[in-house]
A and B are shown apart, each in its own frame.
Chain A
Amino acid sequence: MRTDAIVISVAFGYLALLFVIAAWGDRRAEQGRSLIGSPTVYALSIAVYCTAWTFYGSVGRAAQYGPGFLLIYLGPTLAMLMAPFMIRKMVRIAQVQRITSIADFISARYGKSQGLGALVALIALIGITPYIALQLKAITVSHAVLVNYPLAPELSLAEEAFWVDKSFWVALVLAVFIILFGTRHLDASERHEGMVAAIAFESMVKLVAFLAVGVFVVFSLFHGPGDLFTQVAASPELVGALSLEAVPGGASGWVGMLVLAFLAFLTLPRQFQVLVVENVDERHITRASWLFPLYLLAINLFVIPIAMAGLLLPAGNPDPDSFVLTLPLSAGLDGLPLLVFIGGLSAATGMVIVETIALSTMVSNQLVMPLLLRSKRLHLSSQGGLAGWLLGIRRVAIVLILLLGYLYHALIGDSYSLVTIGLVSFAAACQFAPAMLIGLYWRGATGRGAALGLIAGTLVWAWTLLIPGFAQSGWLNDAFLEYGPWGLSWLRPYALFGLEGWDIYSHSLLWSLMANVGLLVGISLFSRQSPVEKTQAALFTEAMHPGLIESSLWHGQTTRGELRTLVTRYLGAGATARVFADVPNAGPDDDWPAPPDLITRAEQALAGALGSASSRVLINSLVRGEALDLESVLSILDTTSETLEMNRRLEQQSRELAQASEELRAANERLRELDRLKDEFVAMVSHELRTPLTSIRAFAEILRDGRDLPEEKRIHFLDVVVLESQRLSRLIEEILDLARLESGRLTLTPQRLDLVALARHSVDAVHRLQEDRGVSLEVDIEVDEAPVIGDPDRLEQVIINLLDNAGKFADDDAPRVRLHLTPHKQHYRLSVEDNGPGIAEEERERVFEKFHQIKRHGAGAGKAKGRPRGSGLGLPISRGIVAHLGGRLWVEEAPKLKGACLVMELPAAPAETAASASPP
Chain B
Amino acid sequence: MMSPSRLKERLIALIMVAAVLFLPPLVMVVDRPPEVGLSWLPLYIFVTWALVIALAAWLLEQRSGD
A→B interface (CB under 8 Å): 67, 70-71, 74, 77-78, 81-82, 84-85, 229-230, 232-233, 238-244, 251, 254-255, 258, 286-287, 289-291, 293-294, 297, 301, 304
Contact, CB under 8 Å: B39 / A297: no
A287 to B14: give the CA distance in the assembly, Å.
Answer: 16
In the complex, A255 Cα to B14 Cα: how many Å? 19
| Besides A233-B38, A293-B56, 4 new A-B residue pairs in contact (Cβ under 8 A), listed by A number | A71-B22, A81-B56, A85-B11, A294-B57
Closest to B66 in A: A283
B45, A74: Cβ atoms closer than 8 Å:
yes
| Chain A residues, Cβ within 8 Å of B64 | 286-287
15 interchain pairs, CB-CB under 8 A: A67-B39, A70-B42, A81-B15, A82-B15, A84-B11, A229-B37, A233-B37, A238-B38, A243-B31, A244-B27, A289-B56, A290-B61, A293-B52, A293-B53, A294-B57
> Cβ of A294: which chain B residues have Cβ within 8 Å of it?
53, 57
A242–B39 CB distance below 8 A: yes
> Judging by beta carbons under 8 Å apart, are B11 and A74 in contact?
no
Question: Are the C-beta atoms of A78 and B37 separated by less than 8 Å?
Answer: no
Chain B residues with CB below 8 A from A239, complex form: 33, 37-38
Closest 8 CB pairs of A and B: A233-B37, A243-B39, A290-B56, A290-B57, A251-B24, A244-B31, A242-B38, A242-B39
Within 8 Å CB of A241, what residues of B?
38
Most chain B CB neighbours (cut-off 10 Å) among A238, A240, A291, A293: A293
Decide if B18 touches A81 in the complex (CB within 8 Å).
Answer: yes
Complex contact B49–A297 (CB within 8 A):
yes
Which residue of the partner chain, among B14, B49, B61, contacts A74 with CB atoms under 8 Å?
A: B49
Report how far A257 CA is from B27 CA in the complex, Å.
Answer: 14
**Which B6-43 residues sit within 8 Å CB-CB of chain A?**
7-8, 11, 14-15, 18-19, 22-25, 27-28, 31, 33, 36-39, 41-42
Are B42 and A67 interface neighbours, CB within 8 A?
yes
Q: Which residue of A lies closest to B49 (CB)?
A: A297
Contacts of B27 in A (CB 8 A): 244, 251, 254
Contact A286 B63 (CB under 8 A): yes
A79 to chain B: closest residue by CB: B15
Interface pair A258/B22, CB less than 8 Å apart: yes
**Complex: how many Å from CA A304 to CA B11?**
30
A70-B45 contact in complex given A77-B18, A81-B14, A251-B24, C-beta closer than 8 Å: yes
Residue among A85, A232, A242 with most chain B CB within 10 A: A242
Partner of A254, one of B18, B23, B36, B42: B23
Q: How far apart sit A229 and B25, CA to CA, in the bound complex (Å)?
A: 26
Question: Which of B14, B15, B41, B63 is most buried by chain A, counting CB atoms within 10 A of its CB?
Answer: B41
Contact count A vs B, C-beta below 8 Å? 99
Q: Closest CB-CB distance, A58 to chain B, in whole Å?
A: 13
Residues of B within 8 A of A78 (CB): 15, 18-19, 22
How far is A238 from B37 in the complex, measured between Cα atoms in Å? 9
Contact string against A for B residues 48-66, beta-carbon threshold 8 Å, 1 for contact and 0 otherwise: 0110110011001101100
Q: A239-B33, A244-B31, A251-B24 are in contact. Are A229 and B38 (CB under 8 A)?
A: yes
Residue of A nearest to B18 (CB): A78
Q: Nearest A residue to B22 by beta-carbon distance? A: A74
Which residues of A are found within 8 Å of B57, using beta-carbon distances?
A: 290-291, 294
B63 nearest CB across to chain A (Å): 7
Shortest beta-carbon distance from A41 to chain B in Å: 16
Given A81-B15, A84-B11, A258-B22: A244 in contact with B49 (beta carbons within 8 A): no
- Does A286 lie within 8 Å of B15, measured CB to CB? no
Beyond A239-B33, A289-B60, whether A232 also contacts B18 by CB under 8 A is no
Q: How far is the CA of A864 from the CA of B20 in the complex (A)?
A: 82
Pair A244/B41 contact, Cβ less than 8 Å: yes
State the CA gap A251–B11 with chains docked (Å). Answer: 26
Q: Given A85-B8, A239-B33, do A254 and B24 touch, yes or no (CB 8 Å)? A: yes
B33 pairs with A81, CB closer than 8 A: no
Q: Which chain A positions have C-beta within 8 A of B52?
A: 77, 81, 293
Q: Which of B7, B23, B61, B63 has most chain A Cβ within 10 Å? A: B23
Bound state CA distance, A84 and B63, in angstroms?
12
Hey, which chain A residues are within 8 Å of B14, CB to CB? Answer: 81
Given A244-B31, A289-B56, answer yes or no on A77-B37 (Cβ-Cβ < 8 Å).
no
Q: How far is the CA of A239 from the CA of B40 in the complex (A)?
A: 11
Q: Is the CB of A81 within 8 A of B50?
A: no
Q: Are B49 and A232 in contact (CB under 8 A)?
A: no
Q: Of A70, A77, A244, A258, which one neighbours B28 at CB under 8 angstroms?
A: A244
A232 to B37, CA, bound (A): 7
**Minimum C-beta distance from A520 to chain B (A):** 23
- Which of A81, A243, A251 gathers most chain B CB within 10 Å? A81
Inside 8 A of B24's CB, which chain A residues have their CB?
251, 254-255
Write the chain A residue with the least CB distance to B25: A251
A294 to B60 CA separation, bound complex (whole angstroms)? 14
Interface pair A67/B15, CB less than 8 Å apart: no
Q: How far is the CB of B10 from chain A (nearest CB, A)?
A: 11
Q: How far is the CA of A254 from the CA of B41 in the complex (A)?
A: 12
Complex alpha-carbon distance, A290 and B11, angstroms: 11
The answer to whether A255 touches B33, judged by C-beta atoms less than 8 angstroms apart, is no
Q: A285's closest neighbor in chain B, by CB?
A: B60
| Chain B hits for A232, CB < 8 A | 37-38
Residues in B whose Cβ lies below 8 Å from that of A286 = 60, 63-64
- In the complex the two chains form, is A77's CB within 8 Å of B53's CB? yes
Q: How far does the alpha carbon of A304 sit from the alpha carbon of B44 in the complex, in Å?
A: 13
From B27, B53, B61, residue with most partner A Cβ within 10 Å: B53
A81 B23 Cβ-Cβ under 8 A: no
Give the residues in chain B near A70, CB-CB below 8 Å.
42, 45, 49
State the CA gap A253–B56 with chains docked (Å): 27
Q: Which residues of the other chain, B, contact A71 by a CB distance below 8 angstroms?
A: 22
Asked if A287 contacts B61 (CB within 8 A), the reply is yes
Minimal beta-carbon separation of A478 from chain B (angstroms): 33
Query: Would you call B50 and A297 a contact (CB within 8 A)?
Result: yes
Q: How far is the CB of A705 from chain B (nearest CB, A)?
A: 85
Which residues does chain A contribute within 8 Å of B15, judged by CB atoms? Answer: 78, 81-82
A540 to B23, CA, bound (A): 32
> Do A304 and B61 form a contact, CB below 8 Å, given A82-B15, A255-B23, A293-B56?
no
Q: Which of A233, A287, A297, A304 contacts B42 (CB 8 A)?
A: A304
Q: Nearest Cβ distance between residue A103 and chain B, in whole angstroms?
A: 28
The answer for the CA separation of A301 and B11 in the assembled complex, in Å, is 25
Best-surrounded residue of A74, A229, A301 (most CB of chain B within 10 A): A74
Which residue in chain B gives the minimum CB-CB distance to A245? B31
> Chain B nearest CB: distance from A224 CB in Å?
15
Kindly provide the distance from the CB of A251 to the nearest chain B CB, expressed in whole angstroms. 4
A620 to chain B, nearest CB (A): 39
CB-nearest residue of chain A relative to B56?
Answer: A290
Residues of B within 8 A of A233 (CB): 36-38
Tell me the complex Cα distance, A795–B47, Å.
Answer: 73
B53, A297: Cβ atoms closer than 8 Å: yes
Complex contacts, A85 vs chain B, CB 8 Å: 8, 11
**Chain A residues, CB < 8 A from B28:** 244, 251
> What's the minimum C-beta distance from B14 to chain A, rounded to whole angstroms?
7
Chain A nearest CB: distance from B33 CB in Å?
7
List residues of chain A with CB within 8 A of the CB of B22: 71, 74, 78, 258
With both beta carbons as reference points, the residue of chain B lying nearest to A39 in the complex is identified as: B64
Check B60–A287 contact: CB distance below 8 A: yes
In the bound complex, how far is the Cα of B37 from the Cα of A241, in angstroms? Answer: 10
Q: Least Cβ distance of A63 to chain B in Å? A: 13
Is A67's CB under 8 angstroms from B56's CB?
no
Q: Are B41 and A77 in contact (CB under 8 A)?
A: no
* Chain B contacts for A240, CB-based, 8 A: 33, 39
B45 close to A67 (CB less than 8 A) = yes
Q: Is the CB of A258 within 8 A of B38?
A: no
Q: How far apart are the CA atoms of A573 and B42 in the complex, in Å?
A: 59
CA distance A239 to B31 in the complex (A): 12
CB distance from B23 to the nearest CB of A (A): 6
User: Contact at A81–B11, with CB atoms within 8 Å?
Assistant: yes
Shortest distance between the CB of B31 and any CB in chain A (Å) = 4
What is the distance, in angstroms, from B55's C-beta to the closest C-beta of chain A? 9
